[in-house]
Every structure is written in C-alpha cells, then in structure tokens.
C-alpha cells in the first residue's frame, strides 16, 4: 500500500469526550489529509452524508445516537466504508453486536496510539485493495491490451492479502481468480478450481444451488450479499464468513462477481465460550442468597442476579442499562452512587452498610464493593455483593439494649455493695469510740481501713464507664489519701510516689492488690518513720508480657524508713496485716512475695494477670 494513499485518506472521528476528541484530532491531523470531528452519532451521520469519508472511528456510548446505531445507519448507506469502534468496555455482547452490524475493527480504551494506528492501517489496506480492484476493473474495460499486465498486478495485490480469501466469478459462475488464502480456507488449489463452477467444486458446502442463485439475485439488485459457510474437513468443523459482490463495467453493467471470505471459526468459538462463561456466571450469581450486580463507570447496571430482581420486583431486562436513580428513591440512589465513586476513584475494595427499600420496608445489607479491571489494567466497572443483615442488626439492637439494662443493674449492685461496706466501716468507727483499750482500738481502725479499701473498688467501678476494671493509679491515690488522713501523716514529711503503667485492672485483681497496698502502706505509716522522721514511700505496679503470651504483674511497695531486723521473715510474720499480705499474694493470687531489707523495706509481689470479671 502506497504512503500517499494513506496520507490522502479522510477520516471521521466521533467521540463525545471533548478531551479525547481534541487529543485524537491533533494526532490524526498530522497523518491524514482531512479530519472530520463529531461529538455524537447524529452529527457523525450528517458529516458522512455531506463529505467523502474513507474511514470512520467512533466511540460506542454517546448521547442522541450511540456509536453502534450510527454504524448501522452508515453501513446501510455504504457497507464498504471501514468502521473502527472504540470502547472502554470489554463486553462480549457489545462485541457480538458490533460484528453483526459489520464493524471492521474493535479497539479498547484507553486508546493506545499504536493500536489505533494499526487498526487504521489494516482498514486502509483493505480499502486500498478494494479501490485497487475497482480501478483495475475500470482499466480492464478501458484497455483490453493491458489486461494481462493489470491482471498480474491485481493478482499480486490479492495474493498478499493477509487474511482474506478472494475468488472472482464470471456470469456463468465459473471461477476466474482464486488467491492463496482461498486455497488455505477452501482446501483446493487454484489449478483445481480455475475454470470450474462454484457449485461443481462444492466450495460452498452448506449453500445449495437454489440458495446460491437467490444470493446472486440479491447481489444483482442490492450490490452485495453476506452469508456464512459451514465446512467440515476430516471431522474438523469450520465456519467461514463470506461477502459476495458484483463486478460492473464503466456503464454499470454487471460482468461478474467477487467473493471475499475469512475463517471465523476461532472467533466464533471464542464468542460461544464467552457466552457460555457468562451463562455459567449468571447461574452461579442467581443461585446465591446475596444480591450481586455489576455496574459500569457511569453507574449503569451491566449484570444483576435473581435476588436483585426479587428485591426490585422487576426483571433483569428492566434493570440492565439503568442507574440507581432509575430504580431506587433519590436519597438511597445518591448514597449508593457516593459509595461506588469511592471504590472507583481509589480502586480499592470497601464494605458498606446500605439500606435498601423493599415493599414499604427498609432492609439493611452489608455491601462489599470492588473494581473490575480490563486487560490493560484499567478499572472499567464495579462489582457489588450485598448480604441481608437486617435480622442481625435487629439482634444487635436487642443485645445492646439488654447490655444497657445489665450495666444499669451492675452499677446498682456496685453502688449498694459500696454503701453496705461504708455502713460497716462507719459502724466500726462509731464502735471504736467506746473502746478504751488502745490495742483493740487499733484493731478496729485497721479493720475499718481494710473495708474502706474494698468499698473504694466498688465506688470506682460504679463511677467508671468500664464496669469490669478500674484505673489503678487513681485507686492507689485514694487508698493512700485515706490512710494518710487516718494516721495524721503530713505528706510534706512522708512523701508518696506512685508509679503505675497505663493499664486497667479487673475486679479480681484490684481488690486483693488494694488489700495488700492497704496493709503494707499502713505498716509503713505506723512503723517506718518514728519520732517524726522524714522519708518517702513508693508504690509501683508494672505489667510485663511473657513468652507464652500471658501477662505478669509486679506490685512493689517500698519505703526508706527504719526497715526490719535481719532475722525477720515475712512468711513467718505473726501480725495479722502481714499474714493477710502473704495469704493474698501466695494463696489467692498464686504469686510470690519477696522482701528486700536494704535501705528500708521493699515488698515485691509478682503474679500472673487474672482475667477480668465483674
């Protein structure tokens, strides 16, 4: 094909996207003589009628008249004009429809320049061959003396046609020309068929004599006839797409016929496989309880399953091609559209809770939405799988309501336990006023502080949002404040330092730890700093992760007072307070207790963290 022929072609480009249209116009104008632009199919038809257009490139989805409808109109005017369709959707049904209309090439968006150039080149090559045939036919009629030379030239052109079988037939239906591609498709050599009739060679295996004559009659009247040939070679079935046209002289007198054909077996098999795959996919979708749907980037439904039909009480055919705004109330449609845009804009999957109206009721669905990608890796659609969670939401609401009721009840229990303990503590305090013996009075005082430390836990739980645990540092500060006040200790003389990790402690841990701190802090305040001696008391609680994924708590109570005698053993202590400490640490908490006597007294209690319980 000559470069000048390619340069002189006029091209009509139809695209509703201004940016793409302008960008492609600039690209095409550098390569071809004349470029015509249209923004919709209606304008494209008008331009085709007014001007001599060689090749048409068109988008599919456009306003007024879409690309396929425009192609159908133009093919009805001139079936020989090559049409290239561009689309962002790798859709089997669109492809089949385009083939049925007679579209020559199919290019996916976003358009790669090499792809569109290749498509234009192939269409131009086909157009070039056709025009060369027309020119050569004209030359043959004008000058019979150059017939051999021109026939040879024509043969060279047709011989190197890459994928099209060409067969020329005279008015007696005898084969006059037969190119190498025809040899490959029909299985006969040129020497075998030249001079023989089409019917004699049985080339058109499934086209009987009557049908062939009808086809010839249609060509005489309308100019061309398209049909398919079903062939069988050694058990291998093949399908050939053929087009029969007339050859006319300068006076428009019919002098013969030309048939162009190509093997579409593989393409037809691919189409059938795609249809079968789509059918199986639809069956899978229809037999799931979830609602499943696919929408294009503009929000139009491409596929839906039976559950979607049941939800909307309309058929698939009434949904396909529509948007949410066509089938749902406006507020719900806007919400669905916003969620869809989030998925497509970020090209990430998301889960949404979406409310679907159905028969005057509202149903809650958990929708998982994710983008679908074409062969170029571009997101061309969105798929949604929506599961009805209405009953689950109702159960959750009931559970939350039940939990709120239990929380109120539990708060009341903690409140009453705290009040009862405070009553007991107050009774002990009142009773101690009548006790003259200082030793007994001290016993009552210590019992009162123990009960107060337990009541304090319930007071903290009652005022806490978390009914199962307390902020331990606040709890320690409250115990210490009460004991300092009870023993009349000025915190400027004996300083209290609290070091606690940022953690919540459950009731099963808080009560025994509070008892231990109460006893050890009482012991320090009473005995560690005699004769107004100054010092400090340190209370520390730390949590450490163990290798077996458990947690170990280490509670330390220390002072820098006068300490204990060297021979003192806390495990053999005779006082009630230290006996309580060892019993709680070892027996209740299943831990260990260690006494360090250097520089005062330091008790280290270590145990595994208990599960919180209320």
Q: pLDDT at residue 604 above 90?
A: yes
Q: Which residues of 1-20 are buried (b: 16+ CB within 10 A; e: fewer)?
A: eeeeebeebebbbbbbeeeb
Alpha helices in 300-437 (DSSP H): 306-312, 316-319, 324-327, 330-346, 390-432
Confidence bin at 613 (pLDDT 50/70/90): very low
Distance separating alpha carbons of residues 479 and 179, to the nearest angstrom = 106
Least Cα distance to 258 among 372, 325, 374, 178 occurs for: 178
Q: Is 432 left (phi over 0), alpha (psi -120 to 50) or beta?
A: alpha
Distance separating alpha carbons of residues 80 and 54, to the nearest angstrom = 9
Distance separating alpha carbons of residues 263 and 182, to the nearest angstrom = 10
Least Cα distance to 407 among 454, 466, 455 occurs for: 466
Distance separating alpha carbons of residues 592 and 575, to the nearest angstrom = 19
Distances (CA, A) of 201 to 190, 265, 513, 563: 12, 22, 105, 121
Predicted pLDDT at 198: 80
Query: Is the bond leading into 416 cis (omega within 30 degrees of zero)?
Result: no
Predicted pLDDT at 197: 85
Question: Quick one: DSSP state of residue 111?
Answer: P
The two structure tokens encoding residue 292:
């499943």
Q: What is the mean pLDDT of residues 120-147?
A: 73
Predicted pLDDT at 382: 92
Distances (CA, A) of 483 to 183, 448, 452, 517, 521: 110, 11, 10, 11, 8
The two structure tokens encoding residue 343:
């998925």
Predicted pLDDT at 124: 83
Distance separating alpha carbons of residues 492 and 422, to the nearest angstrom = 29
Contact assessment for residue 558 and residue 603, using Cβ atoms and an 8 Å cutoff = yes
Confidence bin at 299 (pLDDT 50/70/90): very high
Q: pLDDT at residue 4 above 80?
A: no
Predicted pLDDT at 143: 61
Predicted pLDDT at 12: 92
Q: pLDDT at residue 351 above 80?
A: yes
Predicted pLDDT at 467: 40
Contact assessment for residue 528 and residue 559, using Cβ atoms and an 8 Å cutoff = yes
Q: pLDDT at residue 64 above 90?
A: no
Confidence bin at 560 (pLDDT 50/70/90): very high
Predicted pLDDT at 285: 82
Question: What percent of the chain shows pLDDT beyond 70?
Answer: 81
């Amino acid at each position: 094909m000559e470069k000048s022929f390619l340069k002189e072609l006029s091209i009509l480009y139809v695209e509703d996207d201004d940016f793409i249209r302008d960008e492609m116009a600039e690209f095409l104008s550098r390569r071809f003589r004349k470029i015509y632009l249209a923004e919709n199919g209606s304008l494209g038809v008008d331009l085709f009628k007014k001007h001599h257009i060689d090749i048409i490139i068109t988008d599919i989805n456009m306003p007024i008249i879409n690309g396929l409808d425009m192609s159908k109109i133009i093919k009805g005017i001139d079936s020989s004009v090559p049409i290239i369709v561009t689309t962002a959707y790798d859709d089997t049904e669109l492809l089949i429809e385009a083939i049925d209309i007679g579209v020559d090439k199919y290019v996916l968006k976003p358009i790669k320049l090499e792809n569109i150039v290749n498509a234009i080149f192939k269409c131009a090559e086909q157009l070039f061959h056709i025009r060369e045939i027309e020119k050569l036919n004209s030359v043959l009629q004008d000058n019979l003396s150059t017939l051999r030379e021109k026939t040879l030239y024509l043969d060279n052109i047709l011989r190197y046609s890459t994928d099209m079988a060409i067969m020329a037939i005279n008015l007696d239906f005898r084969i006059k020309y037969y190119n190498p591609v025809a040899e490959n498709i029909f299985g006969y050599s040129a020497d075998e068929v030249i001079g023989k009739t089409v019917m004699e060679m049985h080339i058109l295996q499934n086209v009987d004599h009557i049908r062939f004559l009808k086809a010839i009659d249609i060509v005489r009247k309308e100019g061309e006839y398209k049909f398919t040939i079903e062939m069988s070679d050694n058990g291998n079935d093949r399908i050939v797409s053929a087009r029969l046209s007339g050859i006319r002289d300068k006076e428009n007198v019919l002098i013969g016929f030309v048939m162009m054909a190509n093997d579409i077996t593989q393409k037809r098999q691919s189409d059938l496989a795609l249809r079968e795959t789509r059918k199986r996919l639809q069956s899978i979708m229809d037999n799931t309880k979830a609602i499943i749907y696919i929408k294009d980037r503009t929000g139009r439904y491409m596929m839906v399953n039976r559950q979607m039909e049941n939800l909307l009480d309309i058929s698939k055919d009434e949904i396909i091609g529509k948007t949410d705004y066509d089938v749902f109330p406006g507020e719900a449609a806007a919400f669905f559209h916003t969620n869809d845009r989030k998925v497509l804009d970020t090209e990430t999957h998301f889960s949404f809770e979406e409310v679907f109206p159905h028969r005057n009721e509202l149903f809650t669905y958990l929708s998982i939405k994710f983008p679908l990608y074409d062969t170029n890796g571009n997101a061309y659609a969105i798929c949604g799988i929506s599961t009805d969670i209405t009953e689950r939401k109702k159960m959750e609401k009931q559970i939350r309501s039940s939990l709120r009721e239990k929380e109120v009840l539990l708060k009341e229990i903690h409140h009453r336990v705290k009040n009862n303990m405070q009553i007991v503590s107050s009774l002990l305090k009142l009773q101690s006023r009548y006790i003259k013996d200082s030793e007994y009075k001290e016993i009552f005082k210590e019992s009162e502080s123990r009960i107060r430390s337990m009541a304090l836990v319930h007071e903290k739980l009652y005022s806490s949002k978390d009914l199962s645990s307390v902020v331990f540092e606040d709890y320690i500060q409250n115990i210490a404040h009460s004991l300092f006040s009870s023993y009349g200790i000025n915190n400027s003389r004996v300083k209290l330092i609290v070091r606690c990790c940022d953690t919540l402690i459950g009731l099963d841990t808080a009560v025994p730890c509070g008892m231990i701190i109460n006893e050890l802090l009482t012991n320090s305040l009473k005995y560690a700093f005699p004769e107004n001696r100054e010092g400090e008391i340190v209370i520390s609680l730390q949590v450490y992760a163990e290798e077996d994924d458990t947690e170990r708590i280490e509670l330390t109570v220390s002072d820098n007072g006068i300490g204990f005698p060297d021979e003192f053993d806390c495990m053999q202590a005779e006082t009630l307070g230290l006996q309580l400490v060892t019993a709680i640490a070892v027996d209740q908490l299943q831990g260990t207790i260690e006494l360090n006597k250097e520089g005062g007294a330091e008790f280290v209690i270590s145990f595994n963290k208990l599960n919180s319980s209320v």
